[in-house]
Each structure stands twice: as C-alpha cells, then as structure tokens.
C-alpha cells in the first residue's frame, strides 16, 4: 500500500513538477525588465558585482572591475538585451535587413581597405575570410562597439581571452548620463580595448573607477595577484556605507553618447572643424536620436528605414520612419505630425517622385556637388578616440553622397567605399587571402614605399602590383588577383598585368539618412533643374574612384551608373526641361484661345436664346 | 479602377462604331472624293492643321494609354518624353481648329426644333441639318470644352502651387479627362468621316 502511494507521488511529481519547474526558469522576469509606466528616472543606487557575481566592497584588495552582466543583469535580463541590434551582428539567425555601415579594415602598407561585417550584407566580407578571429576583431573595432556579441564569442586565442576577459555589454556606454563617462579619452573605453583590457573596459570608462596596466603586456600565465597585474581602483566616495554606488543612469540616452560611435564629418567641406558644420535639423530642433530610434528591453532599436517593419519585431519599426512622423502611415486616426514633425506639402513635385525616391535622396547629406565629397565616420576613422588621425586624407576613403538605387527600386543617398584587397579567383568568385599571408608576401614588395603620415595610400604602381601578384602566386593556390578601384588585376599568361571590371570589385554602398538638411535646402526647392539638368549632379555628378594605384587616382564614375537608368534617357529628359517654360507658355496660350472661343460662342448662344425667348427672331 | 474603366469605355465605343458600320453600311468611300478640289489657302491650312492634330492625337493616345492599359505601369521614360513632345503641338492645333471651326460648328436653331416647338415658334429657315451633323458638332464643342481641364490639369501641376494631395487630384483629372477626350475625338472623327463622305458623294 505504502509502495503504491510512493510510486503515485513520484509519478505525479514527474508529470507536474518537471514542466512547472521548466516554466519558471524560462519565464523569469527581473525587477527592471518591465516598466510600471512611470516617466520618472529610477535612481540606481546599487551594489557592484565582479565577473564571478561576487559583491564588490570599498575595501576589497585587490579591487575587481565590476561586471555589467552581473551588476546590471541583477535587475535587467542580460540575455534578452544581448539579442538587441547593437549586439547581435554575429548571430546568424538575425535578419540582416538593409545594408548598413560596415567595419572597415585598413592596412595601407599592403594596399588593403575592405568592408567587413558579420551580417550578411552583400558586398561585405566576413572577418574570418581574412583570418580575423572574434578576439582580433574586438581588438580592432571594440573601441566603437558597445560590447557583447562578437566581444563575447569564444575565440581561438583562448589564453589571450583568458587574460583579457570577454568584452561584456557596456551599459554605461549609452545609459550613463554622468559627464565623466569616458569612451574615447586616454584612460577611457577605447584605450582599454587597445590594451586588450576587455574585462576592465566598462569600469575604466565609468566616472568612479580607473584602471592601470595592460592585458596585452601580460603573459599567457597571467595571475591577477601579480605586482604588475591590471589593477582597478575605485575613486574615493564611490561607495556609500552599505557599499552601494550611485549611477547616473537614464533610459533616454543623450545625443553625445550616440555621437561617440555615430559621428560623421564632411572632410572636404568642414575638415575636422565641427563648429563650421550644422547638425541634423532634427537635433537642431531639439530632438534626440532616441526620439526616433527607440527600443524596449530587447534593445531591438529601430533603424528607421522604409520596410523595416517587414524584418523587425520592434512595434514602432513601421512608424519610426520619415513618412511615419511627417506623413503618417494611413491609419484610421491622424498620425502625421508626431513629435511636432511638419507635414510637407511638396508643392509642384509630381507624386511619381515619391515612388522613385526615398526621402533621404532629397533631404539627406550635403547638397550634391559635381563630385562626391569624402567623409569620415567614428567607426571607420576611430573619431573621438585618443590619437585618431585628424588628416582629411586618412584611410579609409568614404565617398558621399552617392545617389544610388536600392534593392527596393528607390534612389537613396548612400556612402560608398571601393574595396581593395588580395584574393584568389575561381569560377568568377574571388576569395580574400588571409592577412597573415598578404603581410608576409606583399609587405616585402610594397614595404619599400613610404607610408604618408596623413594616413593616405602609399604611392603604389602597376609594377608593385605585378610583382606582388607574382610573389603571392608562389605562396597561394589558384589564380591570384588584386581588387582595387573597381577593377580586378591579374597576371596574364605572359606574366603581364591585366585589368578588367568585375562585380566583386564594385564598391560597397550603404544608405544614410543623417544629417538631414532643412526643408528649405532640399533638392527641388528652387526648380526642377536642381536635379533635371544636363550637368546636374543628381544624375551626372562624378563619383570619385579610390585606388592605391597612382595611375587610377583621378578616375571617376558617373552617378547615373548606380541608378539603373539609361544615360541618354536621363540626359534627354533633363534637356527637355530647357523647353519646359515654352511648353507652359504654349499650353497656357492655347487654353486662353480655347476659353475665348468657348466664351464667345457661349455668349452668342445666350444672345440667340434670349432673342428666341423674347420673340425677336 | 482607371485601367478597367478605360478598357471598358474604349471597347464600348469601338464596338459601337463597328456595329454602326455593319448595320448601316455607310459609304466611306466618298470620304476622299474622286475629283480633285481646289483648296483655298485657309482650307488647306485647316486640313493641314487637322491632320497634324490627328497625328498628335494618335501619338498622345498611344503614349498615354499604352503604359497604363497594356503594361500596367504609370507613364514614364521615353513614353513620357514622346507624350510631352506631342502635347504642346496638339494643344496649339486644337486651339487653331477651335478658332477655325467654331463658326462652322455653331448649333443654330435648326438643331433644336424641340425647343422651338416648346416655345411655339416657327423658324423661317427650314434648312434641315445633315444626318449625324448634330452629333458631330456636339462632339466638337465637347472637345473644345474638355481640352481646357485636360491641358490645365497637367500644366498647373508643373507650377509650385499644389501639394501632393492636389497633385494627385490634378493627375486624376488629367487621366479621366484624357479618357473622355479620346473617346469623343474617336467618335467625332467617325462622325466627320460619315458627314464628309456623304457630302462628297452628293457632289
């Protein structure tokens, strides 16, 4: 009897207990995961925890750097946050969406400038193709990464990763409102990344801790208790008497935090002098970046492009676009004018323009000139970090605005980079050769050329390329090629250098929206000829071709080559606008005659009817 | 909507004309007259302008409706350029023809006997208008009248006066006026052929 009762209890436990326990594990909701709706800012007076989850106290010796995963993760689900757009690039299950700004690896000494991304954006290369491991990638670009994602992947350099630790999400990088948050300073976040102090980066960037020492300088047998170990020191008065620390955390991130990773500068018009350039019109009007680029706990921030709602789970993806605020999305209730957005009239602009152009084509970036400008960005040029090259010629060379057709058929403003790299050609596909091989082989050939202090290309010649290809051919299997300036170079059967256009040599373009110009400076504001002119930059502007080869540096392409429009048609259509005033005069004159005839005979008819009515006929 | 309406209207008008042709078997052979007539300068000019107008109309009809009706796309590209090239010439021709034909196409009291009957009024002029003449003249005045919104709707949209909503409205006005205009021009051309061939045969 007792045995039966015990079995029954065990079976009941197995049937009910296990699934229930599973449910509680997966649906765990932390204190800060869901808002109660209050618009006020929660005061974060909290304990710090190290990477092991041990609480940090003021008198700990040696002091450990706090871990955002352990500290912030006590109240906010780190795992959920880590799936957000800023952290999920390396997740193959994430839909890449519209092409975005890639990371750009540059090594001028061997003629390399190549767009990299873990996202499947056509035209970019995966870092591992060049032999760049996640650890190496973090070392190179972690300066402008918010942590998490690639920074937390296991790498082949297990021992180095053991010393450096993983680069956890640095929540403070965005959410710390304290002016002492140091992302680019000499002891700040970017400097810590350069020294491979991944574990210490978040603490070092905060206003209440400082870090000394370099993980890069530590041996694989690193011991945290060694005298020259990387050390963390919390400033006086950081901890209160209960060992809690006051954070200046805000939900609504300040523009300056976004700017650290998302600054742009038109080096040809403004150089690096930011006081000469205007900000985006939205920011000038008093808005913040996160007014439009919003996210919830999942940090799946809206990118703000048309059609994003098809690939994003963010509830606001469909409405956080230019049209969403300025025109509404056709809902049954009025939506236009969100956040005070003026509703545009677009007088005199035929509606076909809205089918063929994105808003950014006319409103974003600098007013198109006869030739594209060069620009620098935080991520590409390490802007805002200690020792960033301030020269306008520093690589990588990014061109903008390029008015090119997107996959959805609309022309938009783009930034552009011409890839330059060494690869092998097989079945019309080019595979990049690893950096290690290129540096060993090509470095010896091109190394004789002096690298300019401006950070520009060295003066490479076709002889350099031919010699380097010959040397590489001896070290690498397959047909060795060099891609640069939109062309593919290879040695022909006679050993002579030949060049041809190739799809893999085509530039990588990504659309941009900021800075948005005021409506009074948008294309078409003056007249149709802002774009429809036979020499108008919209169709016939020159896109500079960038190449390390001296002989190719003056090469240009025409904007229309990126628009999928027949050149003669665009020219003829633009030419027809010369006659547009005549068309208007002739048509209005004809209308005047027609109206005159109608009026005259209407009056005659009226007179006739009147005569009949009075019997005077 | 516009595509369906256009196809339906064109089919109705063309089928109507075909049925009329088959049922009444009009003698269109006399249209070009066997005897060579000596044309005065004005008459020659009028015919020349009319032929030019017909040619432009054909170009506008093809370039305007083919993309919408057959290709299912809005008018763009070379279609649009041809359309915009023929349009001002056609506008001038219509204006010139309006001036030249207006007097000839007056609808005097012989065309509205019903009104005279209502007013118990006897006309001194007993001339009976030719068959189809009334319909042809009504078509003429409709053409002149419709040409105004047709031209103005597209020309006004070229000035920075109207926003997107009104631009779309003007485009629709142009589209539907063009449809009506095209149908009336086809009918007018057929009726004129009937009247002219009858006159020539009578001579």
Q: Is the pLDDT of residue B34 over 60?
A: no
Is B148 close to A582, i.e. CB distance below 8 A? no
Average pLDDT for chain B:
85
Chain B: residue whose CA lies nearest to A613: B119
Residue A237 CA, chain-centre distance (Å), reads: 39
Q: Residue B38 has what pLDDT?
A: 60
- Closest-CA distance of chain B to residue A320, Å: 21
Q: Residue B122 has what pLDDT?
A: 62
Per mean pLDDT, which range of A501-515, A553-567, B127-141, B145-159 is the poorest?
Answer: B127-141
Burial (CB < 10 A; 0-12, 13-18, 19+), residue A605, is middle
Instruction: Report the DSSP beta bridge partners of residue A259.
Output: none
Q: Residue A25 has what pLDDT?
A: 42
Q: Is residue A108 within a helix (H) or strand (E), and if so which, with residue range?
A: none
Q: Is the pLDDT of residue A335 over 90?
A: no
Whether chain A has a CB inside 8 Å of the CB on B77: the answer is yes
Q: Residue A334 has what pLDDT?
A: 86
Q: Percent of chain A scored above 90 by pLDDT?
A: 79
Chain A residues in contact with B110 by the CB 8 A cut-off are none
Confidence of residue A611 (pLDDT cuts 50, 70, 90): confident
Chain B residues in contact with A597 by the CB 8 A cut-off are 98-99, 102, 144
Per-residue pLDDT tens over the stretch B181-202? 999 999 999 988 888 777 766 6
Choose from B13-27, B69-83, B88-102 the range with maximum mean pLDDT. B88-102
Q: Residue A617 has what pLDDT?
A: 56
Is B155 close to A350, i.e. CB distance below 8 A? no
Q: What percent helix, strand, coil does chain B show, rounded to 5? A: 75, 0, 25
Mean pLDDT of B26-55: 74
Per mean pLDDT, which range of A52-56, A167-171, A378-382, B135-139 is the poorest?
Answer: B135-139
- If DSSP states are collapsed to H, E and C, what string results for A44-59? EEEECECCCCCECCCC
Distances in Å between the Cα of A205 and the Cα atoms of A111, A156, A176, A529 are 34, 27, 10, 51
DSSP letter for B46, please. H
DSSP letter for A505, please. G
Mean pLDDT of A177-193: 96
- Closest-CA distance of chain B to residue A594, Å: 5
Coil, strand or helix: which one is A314?
Answer: coil
Whether chain B has a CB inside 8 Å of the CB on A580: the answer is yes
Confidence of residue B129 (pLDDT cuts 50, 70, 90): low
CB A142 within 8 A of CB A151: yes
Average pLDDT for chain A:
91
Chain B: residue whose CA lies nearest to A528: B158
E strands present in A275-379: 373-377
Per-residue pLDDT tens over the stretch B66-87? 998 888 888 888 999 999 999 9
Mean pLDDT of A209-227: 88
Coil, strand or helix: which one is A565?
Answer: coil
ipTM over 0.85: yes
Q: Which residues 114-143 of A are in CB contact (within 8 Å) with B?
A: none
Q: Is the pLDDT of residue B12 over 50?
A: yes
Q: Residue B45 has what pLDDT?
A: 85
pTM, rounded to two decimals: 0.87
Chain B residues in contact with A588 by the CB 8 A cut-off are 155
Confidence of residue A24 (pLDDT cuts 50, 70, 90): very low
Q: Percent of chain B scored above 70 by pLDDT?
A: 82
**Helix B41-65 and helix B164-202: axis angle, to 10°?**
130
Question: Distance between the two ends of chain B, CA-based, in angstroms?
Answer: 47
Q: Is the pLDDT of residue B107 over 90?
A: no
Mean pLDDT of B105-113: 75
Q: Is the pLDDT of residue A135 over 90?
A: yes
DSSP letter for A429, please. E
Q: Residue A107 has what pLDDT?
A: 94
Mean pLDDT of A215-236: 88
Mean pLDDT of A145-153: 95
Where do the domains of chain A lie? 44-87+146-247, 579-617
Per mean pLDDT, which range of A26-35, A548-557, B4-13 is the poorest?
Answer: A26-35
Chain B residues in contact with A573 by the CB 8 A cut-off are 80-81
Whether chain A has a CB inside 8 Å of the CB on B31: the answer is no
Q: Residue A1 has what pLDDT?
A: 45
Chains A, B: CB contacts within 8 A come to 112
Q: Which residues 84-123 of B are in CB contact (within 8 Å) with A?
A: 84-85, 87-88, 91-92, 94-96, 98-99, 102, 106-109, 115-116, 119, 121, 123
Q: Residue A18 has what pLDDT?
A: 44
Q: What is d(CA A311, CA A321) in angstroms, rounded to the nearest whole number?
A: 14
Confidence of residue A51 (pLDDT cuts 50, 70, 90): very high
Burial (CB < 10 A; 0-12, 13-18, 19+), residue A550, is middle
Kindly provide the b/e burial profile for residues B128-145, where b requires at least 16 CB atoms within 10 angstroms of the residue's own CB. eeeebbeebbbbbbbbbb
Confidence of residue B124 (pLDDT cuts 50, 70, 90): low
Q: In what order do the strands lie in the sheet with A373-377?
A: A264-266, A373-377, A398-405, A411-417, A508-511
Instruction: Report the DSSP beta bridge partners of residue A116.
Output: A103, A125
Burial (CB < 10 A; 0-12, 13-18, 19+), residue A502, is middle
CB A574 within 8 A of CB A534: yes
Whether chain A has a CB inside 8 Å of the CB on B162: the answer is yes
Q: Residue B1 has what pLDDT?
A: 84
Chain A residues in contact with B81 by the CB 8 A cut-off are 569, 572-573, 576
CB A505 within 8 A of CB A549: no
DSSP letter for A563, please. T
Where do the domains of chain B lie? 36-101, 107-203
Coil, strand or helix: which one is A562?
Answer: helix
Confidence of residue A17 (pLDDT cuts 50, 70, 90): very low
Mean pLDDT of B28-44: 64
């Amino acid at each position: 009897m007792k045995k039966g009762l015990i079995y029954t209890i065990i079976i009941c436990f197995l049937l009910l207990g296990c699934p229930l326990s599973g449910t509680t594990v997966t649906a765990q909701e932390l204190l800060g995961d869901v808002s109660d709706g209050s618009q006020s800012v929660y005061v974060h007076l909290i304990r710090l925890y190290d990477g092991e989850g041990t609480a940090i106290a003021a008198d700990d010796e040696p002091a450990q750097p706090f871990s955002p995963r352990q500290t912030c993760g006590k109240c906010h689900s780190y795992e959920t946050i880590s799936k957000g757009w800023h952290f999920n690039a390396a997740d193959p299950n994430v839909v890449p969406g519209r092409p975005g700004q890639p990371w750009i690896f540059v090594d001028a000494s061997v003629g390399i400038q190549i767009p990299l991304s873990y996202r499947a954006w056509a035209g970019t290369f995966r870092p591992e193709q060049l032999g760049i491991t996640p650890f190496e990638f973090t070392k190179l670009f972690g300066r402008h990464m918010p942590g998490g994602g690639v920074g937390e992947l296991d790498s082949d350099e297990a021992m180095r990763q053991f010393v450096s630790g993983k680069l956890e999400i640095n929540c403070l990088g965005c959410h710390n409102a304290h002016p002492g948050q140091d992302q680019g300073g000499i002891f700040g976040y970017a400097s810590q990344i350069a020294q491979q102090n991944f574990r210490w980066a978040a603490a070092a960037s905060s206003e209440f801790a400082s870090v000394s020492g370099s993980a890069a300088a530590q041996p694989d047998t690193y011991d945290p208790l060694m005298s020259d170990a990387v050390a963390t020191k919390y400033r006086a008065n950081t901890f209160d008497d209960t060992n809690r620390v006051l954070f200046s955390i805000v939900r609504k991130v300040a523009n300056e935090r976004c700017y650290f990773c998302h600054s742009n500068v038109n080096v040809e018009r403004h150089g690096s002098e930011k006081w000469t350039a205007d900000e985006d019109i939205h920011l000038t009007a008093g808005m913040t970046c996160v007014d439009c680029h919003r996210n919830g706990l999942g940090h799946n921030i809206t990118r703000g492009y048309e059609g994003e709602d098809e690939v994003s789970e963010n509830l606001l993806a469909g409405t956080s676009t230019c049209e969403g605020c300025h025109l509404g999305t056709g809902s049954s209730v009025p939506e236009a004018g969100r956040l005070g957005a003026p509703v545009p009239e677009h007088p005199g602009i035929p509606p076909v323009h809205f089918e063929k152009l994105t808003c950014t084509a006319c409103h974003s970036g600098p007013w198109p000139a006869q030739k594209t400008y060069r620009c620098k960005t935080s991520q590409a040029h390490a802007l805002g970090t200690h020792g960033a090259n301030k020269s306008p010629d520093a690589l990588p060379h990014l061109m903008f605005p390029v008015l090119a057709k997107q996959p959805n058929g609309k022309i938009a403003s783009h930034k552009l980079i011409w890839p330059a790299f060494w690869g092998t050609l097989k079945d019309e596909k080019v595979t990049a050769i690893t950096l290690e091989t290129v540096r060993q082989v090509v470095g010896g050939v091109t190394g004789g050329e002096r690298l300019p202090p401006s950070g520009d290309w060295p003066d490479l010649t076709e002889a350099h390329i031919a010699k380097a290809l010959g040397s590489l051919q001896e070290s690498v299997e397959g047909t060795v090629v060099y891609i640069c300036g939109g062309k593919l170079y290879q040695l022909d059967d006679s050993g002579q250098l030949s060049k041809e256009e190739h799809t893999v040599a085509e530039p990588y373009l990504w659309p941009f929206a900021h800075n948005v110009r005021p409506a009074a400076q948008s294309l078409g504001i003056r007249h149709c000829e802002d774009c429809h002119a036979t020499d108008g930059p919209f169709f016939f502007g020159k896109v500079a071709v960038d190449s390390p080869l001296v002989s190719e540096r003056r090469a240009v392409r025409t904007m229309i080559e990126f628009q999928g429009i027949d050149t003669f048609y665009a020219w003829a259509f633009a030419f027809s606008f010369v006659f547009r005033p005549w068309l208007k005069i002739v048509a209005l004159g004809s209308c005047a005659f027609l109206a005159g005839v109608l009026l005259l005979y209407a009056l005659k008819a009226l007179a006739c009817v009147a005569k009949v009515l009075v019997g005077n006929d | 909507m516009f595509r369906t309406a256009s196809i339906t209207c064109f089919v109705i008008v063309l089928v109507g004309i075909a049925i009329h042709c088959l049922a009444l078997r009009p003698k269109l052979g006399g249209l070009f007259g066997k005897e060579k007539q000596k044309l005065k300068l004005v008459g020659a000019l009028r015919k020349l302008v009319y032929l030019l107008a017909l040619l432009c109309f054909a170009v506008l009809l093809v370039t305007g409706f083919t993309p919408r009706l057959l290709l299912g796309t809005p008018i763009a590209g070379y279609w649009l350029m041809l359309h915009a090239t023929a349009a001002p010439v056609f506008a001038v021709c219509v204006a010139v023809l309006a001036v030249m034909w207006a007097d000839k196409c007056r609808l005097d009291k012989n065309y509205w006997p019903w009104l005279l009957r209502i007013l118990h009024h006897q006309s001194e002029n007993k001339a009976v208008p030719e068959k189809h003449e009334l319909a042809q003249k009504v078509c003429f005045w409709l053409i002149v009248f419709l040409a105004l919104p047709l031209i103005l709707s597209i020309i006004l949209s070229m000035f920075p006066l109207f926003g997107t909503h009104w631009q779309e409205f003007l485009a629709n006005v142009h589209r539907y006026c063009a449809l009506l205009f095209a149908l009336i021009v086809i009918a007018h051309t057929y009726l004129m052929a009937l009247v002219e061939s009858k006159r020539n045969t009578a001579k």
